[in-house]
Structure formats: C-alpha cells, structure tokens
C-alpha cells in the first residue's frame, strides 16, 4: 500500500453537546469537551487508524501546537508540521444538538497561513495519493501551496483528491473558481449540500453525475442516507449508511474519506471503497469528536515558536 499525504487543517475542537435548544441571553446546560480536530488532521488520523501509511502537512499555532503534534503521532500519523510563532492554532466551537447535528464557530488561526514555504517535494516520497482539504484553498497562501503540491504530484503521476470542506467558505471563494483550481483532481468528496452548490442541481444523483463528468469520480456523502459513487458522468453505486447511534457528526465526512481512500490504496475497487467509507463514517458519529477514540485535556504547550519533535521512526 502506498502512502497517503493529506494537506489540511489542524484544529482545536471545543465540542458542546446540548440536549435542549440553545437559550439566547442565558445559560444552556451542555457536555463540553476539548478534542484535537480539523478536517485534514481528522482524515489523516482515521486513515492511520484504518491501516494506511498516513502523513499530513499542516500548520499549528504557538499555543497548542506541541499537543497537536503529540496527538497526531499518537494516532499513528506521520506529521509534517510548522509551528507558527505569530498565530494560535485554529479553533472551532461545535455546538451539537440532540440529533447529533452541529453548528460551528470558526477561527482559522495558524491554519490560514499555511503556504508554499511549508512545501518540499520530498513530502511525496513513498506517497501514492495526495488528498487536500478544501479549507487549504480559501486563503491565498494555502491556494499557492495547493498549486505547488498539485504540480509536484502530477509530475510523479499521483492521484489527487479534494474535499470541498464547507458551503460557507466555498461560496465566498467562488464555485467556478473552486472548480477551476481543482480541475487536476480525479476524485472529489462533497457532501450533499456541497455537491448541489458546486453543480446548481437540486438532486444529489444528478449532482454526483455532473461532478464525475468533470473530475472522473465523485463520491457524494449523504449522511444517514449513505453515499453515492459516480464515475465518468454516471452514478454506479449507492451505499446505505452503516447502522450507528449518532452521538456527534463532527468528523464523519473526514472519516468517510479516510475509509474510502484507505480501501483504494489497499487495492479495493471504488464500489467496495464506498462501503468502507460508510462504515468509517458510522464509527465516527458514534463517538464524541472527530478522531478515533478519545483524548484527555490539553497539556501545557511549549513557548512561542518552539517546535515539538516529530514522531520517532
């Protein structure tokens, strides 16, 4: 199995699960935990958990950077991390309701400053697949990094996939611009809303078909309705969601992508990879936070600009 390199965000997730509607202007009881997260880091952690040789290129902040590096190492990921001395790590406050659905408040922090200066072509040594979180593209330094990494990956004949990330920043970035910038990818992982936004369609099957005509392969994540696989302009498979009691949907799409990509790298056909993605997504929603298993509190970080040693070989 060749390696998987993920380029994407690492985030401190503050997850608040509330069983009653949020009451404006007063307190609402909630179970609150702090977890390592981020779309890119979650995908890499799930891929490593599922047996892939997973690596990540990411940028963390001076405040919690060493903790995040340790968490990635503990998850089995090979991290390539820049600790930003001038910005804190990205933070997402995820408010999760009784149905497991989440609303998010986001500060991109150091993640918004990852750029081509963080890149080295040697990052692709031993890699068979490059996967990029769409959040990387939504700031100019990250877009420049994306172009550099894609050019290097194409030069080595690697397959490239992209996750559109989220409808809000995707709209701000521009749909046509996103489609143009990611045209070198041969695989895209939108959820239902992202697929409809990217195509202007009202039906996810038509959206999947349209995206696969552009990229080659499109996998549309439908949450509790499973997922669609479309190839070369045609839906070829619909997989039901695996049974799970939804606790928190944070990271479910990231786990899905990891399951799909790990199966592909292991030599499985795309149809089998779709089932693997659904299973990984179901495992993710059954727990709290976006990573496999659970973690404790944040340890005291090193001082500003101090890089944490990466995982031992």
Q: How far apart are CA 18 and CA 263, in angstroms?
A: 35
String of b and e for 283-292 (b: at least 16 CB within 10 Å)? bbbbbbbbbb
Q: How far apart are CA 232 and CA 94, in angstroms?
A: 36
Q: Which tokens is 45 given?
A: 């952690």
Q: How far apart are CA 303 and CA 103, in angstroms?
A: 32
Sequence-separated (6 or more) residues with CB below 8 Å from residue 43: 6, 8, 131, 133, 163, 254, 255, 257, 258, 261
SS3 category, 218: strand
* E strand map for 85-226: 90-96, 102-107, 127-133, 159-163, 187-188, 217-221
Active site residues: 254
Nearest to 116 by CA among 149, 79, 158, 160: 149
């Amino acid at each position: 199995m060749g390696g998987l390199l993920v380029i994407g965000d690492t985030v401190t997730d503050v997850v608040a699960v509330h069983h009653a509607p949020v009451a404006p202007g007063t307190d609402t009881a909630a179970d609150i935990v702090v977890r390592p997260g981020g779309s890119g880091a979650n995908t890499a952690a799930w891929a490593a958990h599922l047996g892939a040789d997973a690596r990540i290129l990411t940028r963390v902040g001076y405040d919690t950077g060493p903790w995040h590096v340790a968490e990635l190492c503990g998850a089995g990921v090979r991290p390539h991390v820049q600790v930003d001395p001038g910005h804190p790590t990205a933070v997402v406050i995820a408010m999760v309701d009784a149905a497991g659905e989440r609303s998010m408040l986001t500060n991109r922090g150091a993640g918004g400053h990852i750029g081509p200066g963080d890149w080295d072509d040697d990052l692709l040594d031993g890699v068979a697949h490059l996967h990029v979180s769409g959040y990387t593209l939504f700031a100019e330094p990250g877009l420049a990094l994306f172009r550099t990494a894609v050019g290097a990956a194409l030069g080595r004949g690697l397959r490239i996939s992209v996750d559109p990330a989220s409808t809000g920043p995707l709209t701000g970035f521009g749909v046509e611009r996103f489609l143009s910038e990611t045209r070198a990818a041969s695989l895209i992982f939108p959820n239902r809303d992202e697929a409809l936004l990217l195509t202007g369609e009202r039906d996810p099957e038509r959206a999947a078909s349209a995206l696969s005509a552009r990229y080659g392969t499109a996998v549309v994540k439908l949450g509790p309705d499973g997922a669609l696989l479309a190839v070369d302009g045609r839906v070829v498979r619909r997989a039901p969601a695996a049974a799970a009691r939804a606790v928190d949907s944070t990271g479910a799409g990231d786990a899905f992508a990891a399951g799909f990509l790990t199966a592909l790298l292991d030599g499985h056909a795309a149809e089998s990879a779709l089932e693997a993605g659904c299973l990984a997504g179901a495992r993710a929603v059954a727990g709290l936070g976006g990573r496999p298993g659970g973690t404790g509190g944040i340890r005291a970080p090193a001082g500003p600009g101090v890089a944490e040693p990466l995982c031992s070989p």
